[in-house]
């Protein structure tokens, strides 16, 4: 263990190949070749880069010393061994059977998704225009088109960071559309997502924020308590935000009623969804959603330790909605050649790139590569694949719930879920998980923010789990809870 | 210099819906074992009647090779950084993203973010050490988080810290922030989203230099802080930046440094010496992670000791020889992104820094700066191109084609379409408002060789010649692109815009 903590950095200089009397030629820096550097300096009539910096940055702000950093590993093999050596300390869901979900889910990634997202062109493009990047624009437009088909909507934009950011932007849109400053959200939404939402809704301006009021859920079903919802609705409510399936996996079977109640008070119905459910679940539009949002990571994007998140927002094609989006919205358009498709940005003046502090929230670099991956995924699965996948997930998750419910010391309170469900244990969920690790299993995430649910954890079962894996969980739990 | 003959792939590729053949399939999901079905029945029966999907979604139906071919063609009609001399896209730092780092980042693809800490020690270690060992030294800040998933999100994160900091101190009345017009738009938009009133300072109109007197007039008892990009988007470094942070601090405010594009500053000058309380680096720009067609990116946010307790949760800390995720931080702003942010981006940036080390990072900075001086020297000789302010530029410069426009009628949008005909990515023009007319902003990062820069300038020079001899050729460009000139008229018209195939179908009828 060296100076730099637990990481074992190389002890000695990687030598003369790259470090000859101030000569430093690195494969990532072509003009580090001294003769070229000299030629360039001569061309501009300068003696050194130091001299150039001195003209731009005052001496008192210059570091004027070498940074104290670990010795580098400029040879690729050495670098690979070093970084891979650190990462090899991780365990993955490939090695363990994982039942973790809660906003990031393990699904099968069709190989074609990985091939397309690894293409140099998509991986390394950025902000080019449509004439250089027609293909990227079209792939983005297709993401919008395909996610709209699942959601029953007509407008979507480039993806945003994650479900939380999508929900945050969506409720702010609803607030601007209605001119109202209070929203209702279910009490059992994801605590992390709620935290993100609170940040989006708080304001320095005492009159500028959006008040978040939580609506109770029914103990027996895990669904929104319609009585409590109605009692909290009023003319001051901008929107009712709810999720389907909700954080605890439960299908909000009264979605139409919730939207109807919201609309009765002039509020918007904003629904967050896991789109992988939409081959079997009704689209949000079918039960009255005005704005839909959610998380596209299940659509072909690996988990990447949470780095696979990809939020989306969609709505009906009405100007009052479109005008409030913070996102870049790609529109299809004609070109000077008959029958050719071009693309460009609709109502670009709304975005922060144009309007700065007067913009609708803000937009920036988000998760567009994952949007392209999701487009490939939706194209591969098609309507039949989405339906079959949804059915498989329903069957396997319900099977798991049933056999876990049979275990003494385990109780599955809800039915009518999609791929996740809470399990209440006779022991603390953290303790159960510790034991399960010894069986090569990552148990569900403990629901520590839900004291009313007792010692519970959120279990996720998808198409990745086969019968044997589920049975291994069952037998391990029988022993752990015995 | 010989200019290449180039033509972009032109596939006339239909929208994927148009390629659909009913019944075809691109993928078959796994099915349940009979024992499972026996116990629970058919999956569709497990959905409450009210929530059953009545009609299948109108997704396209294609076989696998046909899906692959379609998206491969779309990728071919995209000029990624790796295929061209992509130095025109300023404020974006289009540098090379080492390919080996893709493989290393891929090592974490099957990790779930809520796995027990003991099973992700390698990941936590790498992220912690990258902040603790590299970014602290590079910036002079004391503590880092990688939760913000993009540069603007990092800026927003800092606005939330500012909000919480003043609220905790009973100074919630501080509701004004200060930025400059040549700071990135996120420095205005994200504090505004957090509820701040934004005061925007304009530079001296003659020199373009940030106006310290204007700052002195703008601060007051309501000042919460400042959000400043430096070097500014036009490439000028504010030499008085430490005086600026002093003025903000004297007024009781905090200072957030936008170092999204710090490429020419690594090992040269730091946020600490400039007096900042917090900063963000864009790891997908300065630290080489690929741009991904616009993300996933990551902002590394660094703060001083005093602000560490406000960082979003969880914070990775060292404990008992290992690494743990600390959620028990009462003054934290909470969360701005689920889980821990975009950690594959952090893996790539760590690897990039480990390949370069102190000397390499400084060489990258010096080279990107020198590349820009060299580019400036060449571009200023091209007919019709002017540099608006005289000051030397650090990593990029904002140019104007106003003269060309007046003399030939060929403007910035025309030239930007024409560069594509020569296999060059269209350049970045400018964020708005366009104080500099007909603007463009190239940024020649250390990735580009002298020959690359020479070639890029030769293309610009050739187009300038065309503008003065055959302006119609430029105005009617592109000629060698995947498509022709797009009709922009519908993008602000609700009857004509279409953000989905189904909307387009409806409006076409």
ipTM of the complex: 0.98
| Out of A127-131, A293-297, B275-279, least confident range | A127-131
Q: Does A350 touch chain B (CB under 8 A)?
A: no
Distance between B24 CA and the closest CA of chain A, angstroms? 9
User: If you ran DSSP here, which 8-state letter would residue B15 be given?
Assistant: P
- Judged against a pLDDT cut of 50, whether residue A16 lies above it is answered with no
User: Which pLDDT value is given to residue B25?
Assistant: 98
pLDDT digits (tens, 9 = 90+) for A57-104: 999 999 999 999 999 999 999 999 999 999 999 999 999 999 999 999
Neighbour tally for B2: CB within 10 Å? 6
CA B472 to chain centre: 34
Contacts of A69 (CB under 8 A, 6+ apart): B133, B134, B137, B353, B357, B358, B361
- Judged against a pLDDT cut of 70, whether residue A4 lies above it is answered with no
pLDDT digits (tens, 9 = 90+) for B243-254: 999 999 999 999
- Judged against a pLDDT cut of 90, whether residue B417 lies above it is answered with yes
pLDDT digits (tens, 9 = 90+) for B275-292: 999 999 999 999 999 999
User: Which pLDDT value is given to residue A24?
Assistant: 83
User: Residue B1 — very low, low, confident or very high, per pLDDT cuts 50/70/90?
Assistant: confident
User: Which pLDDT value is given to residue B250?
Assistant: 98
Which chain B residue has the Cα nearest residue A144? B500
User: Which pLDDT value is given to residue A19?
Assistant: 40
User: If you ran DSSP here, which 8-state letter would residue B14 be given?
Assistant: P
For B196-211, what is the mean pLDDT?
A: 96
Give A-chain residues touching B447 at CB under 8 angstroms.
Answer: 28-30
* Average pLDDT of chain B to the nearest whole number: 97
pLDDT digits (tens, 9 = 90+) for B333-350: 999 999 999 999 999 999
* Average pLDDT of chain A to the nearest whole number: 95
Contacts of B166 (CB under 8 A, 6+ apart): B172, B174, B224
Q: pTM for the full model?
A: 0.97
Minimum-distance CB partner of B336 among A196, A304, A366: A196
User: Which pLDDT value is given to residue A10?
Assistant: 54
- Judged against a pLDDT cut of 70, whether residue B176 lies above it is answered with yes
Distance between A183 CA and the closest CA of chain B, angstroms? 17
pLDDT digits (tens, 9 = 90+) for A374-389: 999 999 999 999 999 9
User: If you ran DSSP here, which 8-state letter would residue A20 be given?
Assistant: B
User: Which pLDDT value is given to residue A9?
Assistant: 59
Q: Tokens 């020419």 — which residue?
A: B264
Nearest to B16 by CA among A62, A204, A141: A141
Asked if A131 lies within 8 A of B481 by C-beta distance, the reply is yes
Q: Which of residues 335-364 of B touch A (CB under 8 A)?
A: 335-345, 347, 350-364
CA B108 to chain centre: 23
User: Which pLDDT value is given to residue B509?
Assistant: 76
Q: Are A413 and A430 in contact (CB under 8 A)?
A: no
Domains of chain B in start order, with CATH, are: 101-355 (3.40.640.10), 362-491 (3.90.1150.10)
Dihedral sign of CA atoms A91, A96, A100, A103 in order: positive
Which chain A residue has the Cα nearest residue B432? A354
Contacts of B21 (CB under 8 A, 6+ apart): B61, B62
pLDDT digits (tens, 9 = 90+) for B375-415: 999 999 999 999 999 999 999 999 999 999 999 999 999 99
Q: Which of residues 54-113 of A touch B (CB under 8 A)?
A: 55-58, 60-63, 66-74, 76, 79-80, 82-84, 86-94, 96, 98, 100, 102-104, 106, 108, 110, 112
Percentages of chain B per state (helix, strand, coil), in multiples of 5? 40, 10, 50
For B357-375, what is the mean pLDDT?
A: 98
Q: Does B268 touch chain A (CB under 8 A)?
A: yes
For A32-53, what is the mean pLDDT?
A: 97
Q: Which of residues 106-135 of B touch A (CB under 8 A)?
A: 107-116, 118-123, 125-126, 128-129, 132-134
Give B-chain residues touching A255 at CB under 8 angstroms.
Answer: 50-51
**φ/ψ bin of A214: left (φ > 0), alpha (ψ from -120 to 50), beta (otherwise):** beta
User: Residue A2 — very low, low, confident or very high, per pLDDT cuts 50/70/90?
Assistant: very low
Q: Which residues of B178-217 are buried (b: 16+ CB within 10 A; e: fewer)?
A: bbbbbbbbbbbbbbbbbbbbbbbbebeeeebbbbbebbee
User: Residue A15 — very low, low, confident or very high, per pLDDT cuts 50/70/90?
Assistant: very low
Give A-chain residues touching B426 at CB under 8 angstroms.
Answer: 128-129, 131-132
Domains of chain A in start order, with CATH, are: 30-77 (no CATH), 97-104+382-481 (3.90.1150.10), 111-377 (3.40.640.10)
User: Which pLDDT value is given to residue A22?
Assistant: 61
pLDDT digits (tens, 9 = 90+) for B87-103: 999 999 999 999 999 99
Asked if A161 lies within 8 A of B126 by C-beta distance, the reply is no
User: Which pLDDT value is given to residue A20?
Assistant: 40
Indicate which of B33, B88, B112 best probes the interface with A, i.e. most A CBs within 10 Å of its own CB. Answer: B112
SS3 A285: helix
pLDDT digits (tens, 9 = 90+) for B424-457: 999 999 999 999 999 999 999 999 999 999 999 9
């Amino acid at each position: 263990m060296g100076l730099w903590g637990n990481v074992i950095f190389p002890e000695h200089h990687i030598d003369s190949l790259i470090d000859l009397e101030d000569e430093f030629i690195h494969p990532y820096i072509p003009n580090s070749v001294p003769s070229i550097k000299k030629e360039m300096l001569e061309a501009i009539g300068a003696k050194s880069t130091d001299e150039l910096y001195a003209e731009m940055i005052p001496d008192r702000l210059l570091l004027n010393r070498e940074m104290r950093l670990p010795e580098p590993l400029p040879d690729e093999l050495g670098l690979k061994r070093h970084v891979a050596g650190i990462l090899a300390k991780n365990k993955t869901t490939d090695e363990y059977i994982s039942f973790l979900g809660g906003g990031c889910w393990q699904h099968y990634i069709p190989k074609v998704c990985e091939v397309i997202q690894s293409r140099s062109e998509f991986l390394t493009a950025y902000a080019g225009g449509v004439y250089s990047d027609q293909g990227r624009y079209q792939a983005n437009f297709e993401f919008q088109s395909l996610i709209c088909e699942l959601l029953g909507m007509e407008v979507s934009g480039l993806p945003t960071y994650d479900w939380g950011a999508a929900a945050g932007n969506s409720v702010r849109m609803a607030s601007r559309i209605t001119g109202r400053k209070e929203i209702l959200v279910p009490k059992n939404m994801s605590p992390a997502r709620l935290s993100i939402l609170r940040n989006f809704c708080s304001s320095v301006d005492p009159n500028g924020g959006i008040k978040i009021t939580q609506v109770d859920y029914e103990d027996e079903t895990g669904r929104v308590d319609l009585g409590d919802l109605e009692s909290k609705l009023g003319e001051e409510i901008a929107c009712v935000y709810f999720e389907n399936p909700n954080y605890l996996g439960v299908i909000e079977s009264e979605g139409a009623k919730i939207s109807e109640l919201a609309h009765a008070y002039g509020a918007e119905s904003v629904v967050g969804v896991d789109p992988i459910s939409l081959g079997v679940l009704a689209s949000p539009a079918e039960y009255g959603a005005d704005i839909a949002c959610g998380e596209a990571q299940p659509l072909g994007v690996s988990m990447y330790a949470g780095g696979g998140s990809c939020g989306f927002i969609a709505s009906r094609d009405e100007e009052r909605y479109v005008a409030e989006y913070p996102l870049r919205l790609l529109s299809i358009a004609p070109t000077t050649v008959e029958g050719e498709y071009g693309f460009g940005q609709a109502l670009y003046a709304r975005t922060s790139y144009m309007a700065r502090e007067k913009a609708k929230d803000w937009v920036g670099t988000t998760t567009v590569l994952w949007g392209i991956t999701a487009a490939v995924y939706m194209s591969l699965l098609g309507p039949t694949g989405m339906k079959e996948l949804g059915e498989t997930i329903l069957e396997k998750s319900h099977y798991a719930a049933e056999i876990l419910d049979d275990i003494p010391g385990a109780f599955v309170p809800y039915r009518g879920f999609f791929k996740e469900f809470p399990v209440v244990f006779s022991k603390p969920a953290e303790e159960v998980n510790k034991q399960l690790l010894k069986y090569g299993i990552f148990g569900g995430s403990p629901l520590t923010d839900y004291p009313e649910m007792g010692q519970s954890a959120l279990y996720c079962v998808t198409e990745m789990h086969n019968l044997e894996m589920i049975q291994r969980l069952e037998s391990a739990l029988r022993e752990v809870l015995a | 210099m010989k200019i290449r003959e180039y033509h972009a792939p032109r596939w006339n590729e239909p929208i994927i819906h148009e390629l659909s053949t009913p019944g075809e399939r691109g993928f078959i999901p796994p099915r349940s074992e009979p024992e499972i079905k026996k116990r629970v029945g058919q999956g569709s029966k497990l959905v409450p009647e009210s929530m059953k999907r009545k009609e299948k979604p109108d997704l396209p139906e294609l076989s696998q090779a046909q899906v692959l071919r379609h998206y491969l063609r779309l990728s071919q009609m995209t000029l990624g950084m790796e295929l061209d001399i992509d130095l025109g896209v300023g404020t974006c730092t289009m540098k090379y993203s080492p390919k080996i780092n893709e493989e290393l980042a891929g090592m974490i693809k099957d990790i779930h973010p809520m796995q027990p800490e003991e099973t992700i020690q390698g990941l936590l270690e790498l992220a912690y050490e990258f902040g603790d060992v590299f970014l602290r030294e590079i910036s002079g800040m004391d503590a880092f988080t990688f939760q913000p998933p993009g540069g603007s999100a990092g800026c927003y994160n800092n606005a939330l810290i500012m909000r919480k900091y003043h609220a905790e101190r009973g100074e919630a009345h501080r509701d004004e922030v200060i930025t400059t017009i040549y700071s990135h738009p996120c420095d205005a938009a994200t504090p505004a989203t957090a509820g701040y009133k934004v005061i925007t300072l304009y530079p001296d109109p003659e020199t373009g230099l940030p106006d310290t007197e204007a700052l002195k007039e703008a601060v007051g008892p309501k000042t919460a802080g400042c959000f400043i990009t430096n070097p500014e988007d036009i490439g000028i470094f504010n030499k008085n930046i430490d005086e600026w942070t002093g003025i903000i601090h004297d007024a009781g405010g905090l200072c957030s440094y936008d170092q999204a594009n710090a490429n020419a500053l690594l090992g040269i000058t730091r946020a600490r010496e400039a007096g900042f309380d917090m900063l963000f680096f864009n790891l997908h720009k300065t630290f080489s992670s690929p741009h991904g067609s616009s993300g996933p990116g990551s902002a590394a946010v660094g703060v001083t000791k005093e602000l560490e307790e406000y960082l979003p949760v969880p914070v990775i800390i060292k404990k008992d020889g290992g690494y743990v995720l600390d959620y028990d931080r009462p003054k934290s702003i909470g969360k701005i992104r689920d889980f821990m942010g975009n950690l594959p981006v952090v893996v790539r940036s760590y690897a990039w820094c480990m390949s370069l080390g102190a000397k390499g990072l400084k060489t990258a900075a010096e080279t990107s700066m020198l590349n820009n001086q060299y580019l400036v020297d060449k571009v200023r000789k091209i007919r019709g191109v002017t540099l608006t302010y005289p000051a030397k530029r650090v990593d990029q410069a904002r140019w104007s084609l106003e003269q060309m426009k007046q003399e030939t009628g060929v403007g910035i949008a025309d030239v930007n379409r024409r560069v594509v005909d020569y296999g060059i990515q269209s350049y970045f023009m400018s964020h708005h408002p366009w104080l500099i007319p007909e603007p463009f902003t190239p940024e020649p990062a250390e990735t580009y060789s002298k020959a690359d820069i020479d070639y890029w300038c030769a293309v610009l020079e050739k187009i300038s010649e065309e503008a003065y001899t055959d302006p119609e050729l430029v105005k009617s460009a592109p000629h060698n692109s995947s498509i022709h000139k797009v009709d922009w008229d519908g993008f602000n018209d609700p009857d004509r815009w279409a953000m989905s195939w189904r909307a387009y179908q409806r409006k076409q009828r």
